[in-house]
Amino acid sequence: MVTRMQPDLSVRIGKLDLAYPTLMGSGCYGSGAEFEPFVDLARIGGVVLKSVTRAPRLGNPTPRLVHTPAGMLNAIGLQNPGIAWYLAHDVAKFASRPCKVIGSVAGFSVDDYAVVCEQLAARDEIHAIELNISCPNVASEGETFACDPRLTARVVRAARATTGKTLIVKLSPNVTDIAAIAREAEAAGADALAVVNTVRGMAIDVDAWHPRLGNVTGGLSGPAIRPIAVLAVYEVARAVKIPIVGQGGIETVTDALEFFLAGASAISIGTANFTDPRVPETIVDGLSEYLARRKLASIRDIVGRANLGFANAYQFEGDEG
């Protein structure tokens, strides 16, 4: 009897080996423990933890979440206990996870990122670091790190100097030229790029004549942003050589495939976990079936396969109409 080999879903992101190409998005999966009763954590690649900052943060005023027709707006405001408490009370609990654990670092100065990254990466429980650079830099009038190539380069260089562990830099879609930011992050020492974080947005209560979010503005996630995210992956993939973790609105295996075909080596699932914690396992099953049906040995065989040459991709003057 001939036994057919299961397609290989393992991927390597920098120095990080993942058994499955699926990460759970920061802020959307707790530490993994919250989901353990519902899913087999051994069947996901890894969890990206909620972003942690140098000082404790209470987060933004409520309401912090607004449902939208195809996703949600959030303005949590990086609520977290600060790195000292986190190291003393939380990190040890991550040691027994049957998947990889990726720490997420946020900050409001270059120094913040370096300090938190160094302390978090020094812990054995943390296998890699993601830099959430969608934060305002207090030294330059609140300009977002991820929206400025120079600031991106500075913050990545500073974090890079503190650790040899895999450094994933998470880019923002709220920019004109994401490829330019991606190139700076790569040149400054990023091992991989997470593409993309939430899209800025707001919602208004028409009875109260008031913004719905306590913070006024927030970040849009879920299926509404998927085409924006797929394009961002597509453009970043042609700008850099380092691997990409694609994310933004992934709910089904077809959604996931779009990201791999655009050029992502792995994907991240965030908002979908709130409505169905089995989505990551369903996607893993679906990827296996898809590859087997096409007699492909590995998920790596499809990465970037829909990423056409520039002449094909940009043969028209504009995209609309």
Ligand X SMILES: Cc1cc2nc3c(=O)[nH]c(=O)nc-3n(C[C@H](O)[C@H](O)[C@H](O)COP(=O)(O)O)c2cc1C
Task: Using CB under 6 A, count the residues that bind ligand X.
Answer: 25
Q: Which residue is nearest to ligand X (CB)?
A: 27
Three-state DSSP state, 34: helix
Three-state DSSP state, 282: helix
Q: Is 3 exposed, middle or buried (0-12, 13-18, 19+ CB in 10 A)?
A: exposed
Q: In angstroms, what is the minimal distance from the CB of 284 to ligand X?
A: 16
Verify binding: residue 222, ligand X, rule CB under 6 A: yes
99 is catalytic: no
Q: Exactly one of 152, 163, 198, 265 binds ligand X (CB under 6 A); which one?
A: 198
Q: In angstroms, what is the minimal distance from the CB of 312 to ligand X?
A: 28
Q: From residue 107 to residue 146, what is the string marking binding to ligand X with x (rule CB under 6 A)?
A: -------------------------x--------------
Verify binding: residue 221, ligand X, rule CB under 6 A: yes
Any idea how long the chain is? 321
Three-state DSSP state, 285: helix
Q: From residue 233 to residue 272, what is the string marking binding to ligand X with x (rule CB under 6 A)?
A: --------------xxxx------------------xxxx
Strands 143-144 and 136-137: antiparallel
Q: Verify cis geometry, omega within 30 degrees of 0, for the bond prior to 63.
A: yes
Q: In angstroms, what is the minimal distance from the CB of 60 to ligand X?
A: 11
Q: Is 77 exposed, middle or buried (0-12, 13-18, 19+ CB in 10 A)?
A: middle
Verify binding: residue 51, ligand X, rule CB under 6 A: yes
Nearer to ligand X, 102 or 114 (CB): 102
Query: Who contacts 140 (Cβ-Cβ below 8 Å, separation ≥6)?
Result: 148, 151
| Contact set for ligand X, span 57-86 (CB under 6 A) | 74, 76, 78
Given CA atoms 211, 215, 221, 226 in this order, what sign does their dihedral have? positive
Q: Which of 28, 99, 117, 135 is catalytic?
A: 135
Nearer to ligand X, 59 or 211 (CB): 59
Q: DSSP of 75-132, one letter per residue?
A: -----B--HHHIIIIIGGGGTT-SSEEEEEE--SSHHHHHHHHHHHHTSTT--EEEEE
Q: DSSP of 119-132, one letter per residue?
A: HHHTSTT--EEEEE
Nearer to ligand X, 7 or 265 (CB): 265
Verify binding: residue 197, ligand X, rule CB under 6 A: yes
Q: In angstroms, what is the minimal distance from the CB of 125 to ligand X?
A: 18
Verify binding: residue 152, ligand X, rule CB under 6 A: no
Verify binding: residue 104, ligand X, rule CB under 6 A: yes
| Angle (CA) 168 31 84, round 5° | 80
The Cα–Cα gap between 215 and 42 comes to 37
Piece of 3-11, 155-163, 219-227, 230-238 that binds ligand X (CB under 6 A): 219-227
Piece of 8-16, 24-32, 109-117, 252-260 that binds ligand X (CB under 6 A): 24-32
What one-character DSSP code corresponds to residue 21?
S
Q: Exactly one of 18, 23, 26, 259 binds ligand X (CB under 6 A); which one?
A: 26
Q: In angstroms, what is the minimal distance from the CB of 276 to ligand X?
A: 12
| Contact set for ligand X, span 281-320 (CB under 6 A) | none
Q: Interface residues with ligand X (CB under 6 A)?
A: 25-28, 50-51, 74, 76, 78, 104, 132, 170, 197-198, 221-222, 225, 247-250, 269-272
**Which active-site residues does the annotation give?**
135
